[in-house]
Amino acid sequence: MVRPWRMGQGHPSISSLLFFSLVMVGPVGRVAGRARLLAGVRSWQNRHVTYNFSSGPAALPAELVNRIQEELPDWHGTGMPVMTLSHRGPDFVALMEQDIMQGGGMGQFAAVPLNLTLPGDEVATVVTGRWGLTAAEEAERLGLTVRRVADQAADRYTSVPAEGSWTVPTSARYLYYVPNETIGGVEFPYQPVSPVPLVADASSQILSQPMDLAAHGVVFAGTQKNLGVAGAVVVIVERELLGRARPGCPSILDYTRGAKAGSMLNTPTTFAVYVLDLMLDWVAGQGGVEAMRTRSLERAGLVYSLIDASGFYANPVDPSARSTKNIPFTLADPALDPVFLAESEQAGLAFLGGHRSVGGMRASLYNAMPLAGAQALVDFMRDFERRHG
């Protein structure tokens, strides 16, 4: 039996927030390097961090952090922290029925091919950045011919191909794209259409704006940006695409097996599930994805306006494809980068360094970032330019 995404009493699901109801399953978790984590904690422990601009793990809404703190010792009268409850016990199963998922984002780069193709098949992709490239490489490792029907390499991944400018061969098993490329800060301004199932890596876009789930065969998103904390991935699969996993697909990556097991083929990342549940409630309580979109545009508008009005800061992305979630920017003099980072940290603006592969700066503005956070960033940038420009 395939279990659809089921909602608990009064609890929203991602599908309901996005207005469609499909099937959700989720494989495989990833564990962050403990040493790296501890190093990060040490370097931040004595600072007063006001706003977190990390691309993920990303900020949580302040009220959620308070709520987690309050109910940590005693989740819903059980007398126990939620992540210590048995995942088979009735209390936790109730939570999973509201938020069916587990796993990690990069696993989907393999899970998608393993569930939708056989070795030797052809798939299509539109590459607008690093995450799309990495997914294409993984598909190739799994024996697929990946047809790059559009690839923005010539623009150094600072643009999105014009709508309708590519052709997808109908022999392709699916068309893959990344609605929002987190590293390059490139976002599709339109919804691609496809004659074959459309697969979206919505890791850094989900719930920041409405999304037409019905146009997609598979949508997946890691939870560490707009859905809470790291450790899980939400996967939405069109029912018709189930039952196609290739022979030898590991059970934990098999959408159909995962769905049949209620996303509990193995021990789920219970804390991430719990926080996801809180995040969905929070988004719904804030007015849903339309409200998230309005705020997202406001936040990003503040930062882009400052960049565009300045001769000191620059954003390399084609204005029509600029991301409202991740804003990379450079300073006129790269020698000032470390100064900018040090001063912004002192000012309580955390994690503004660009991805290690591209350098420069990047401000990630997900749902949990208040407008005041974007304003604080803009105020700091203006002041920095005045002093160093």
Shortest Å, Cβ 263 to ligand PMP? 16
Strand partners, 364: 326
Told to judge if 166 belongs to the known catalytic residues of this protein, a careful annotator would answer no
Q: Which of 75, 99, 225, 254 is catalytic?
A: 225
CB of 22 or CB of 227, closer to ligand PMP: 227
Q: Report the SS3 class of residue 348.
A: coil
105 binds ligand PMP (CB under 6 A): yes
Told to judge if 131 belongs to the known catalytic residues of this protein, a careful annotator would answer yes
The answer to whether 14 touches 236, Cβ cutoff 8 Å, is: yes
Shortest Å, Cβ 75 to ligand PMP? 25
Binding residues for ligand PMP, how many (CB under 6 A)? Answer: 13
Shortest Å, Cβ 90 to ligand PMP? 30
CB of 60 or CB of 378, closer to ligand PMP: 60
CB of 201 or CB of 385, closer to ligand PMP: 201
Considering only residues 80 to 99 of the shown chain, the ones binding ligand PMP according to CB under 6 A are none
Shortest Å, Cβ 47 to ligand PMP? 24
User: CA-CA distance, 227 to 19, in Å (whole number)?
Assistant: 17
| Residue partners of 331: CB distance under 8 A and separation at least 6 | 312, 313, 337, 340, 360, 361
Return the residue of 178, 198, 242, 303 that touches ligand PMP, per CB under 6 A. Answer: 178
228 binds ligand PMP (CB under 6 A): no
Helix axes 288-309, 371-388, angle to 10 degrees: 10
| Residue partners of 338: CB distance under 8 A and separation at least 6 | none
User: CA-CA distance, 345 to 50, in Å (whole number)?
Assistant: 9
131 binds ligand PMP (CB under 6 A): yes
User: CA-CA distance, 252 to 233, in Å (whole number)?
Assistant: 13
User: CA-CA distance, 164 to 15, in Å (whole number)?
Assistant: 27
The answer to whether 332 touches 192, Cβ cutoff 8 Å, is: no
Told to judge if 325 belongs to the known catalytic residues of this protein, a careful annotator would answer no
Considering only residues 192 to 221 of the shown chain, the ones binding ligand PMP according to CB under 6 A are 201, 203-204
Shortest Å, Cβ 104 to ligand PMP? 5
The answer to whether 4 touches 275, Cβ cutoff 8 Å, is: no
The answer to whether 229 touches 272, Cβ cutoff 8 Å, is: yes
330 binds ligand PMP (CB under 6 A): no
> Which residue bears the tokens 């978790």?
29
354 binds ligand PMP (CB under 6 A): no
367 binds ligand PMP (CB under 6 A): no
Sites of contact with ligand PMP (CB under 6 A): 30, 55-56, 104-106, 131, 178, 182, 201, 203-204, 222
The set of catalytic residues is: 131, 201, 225
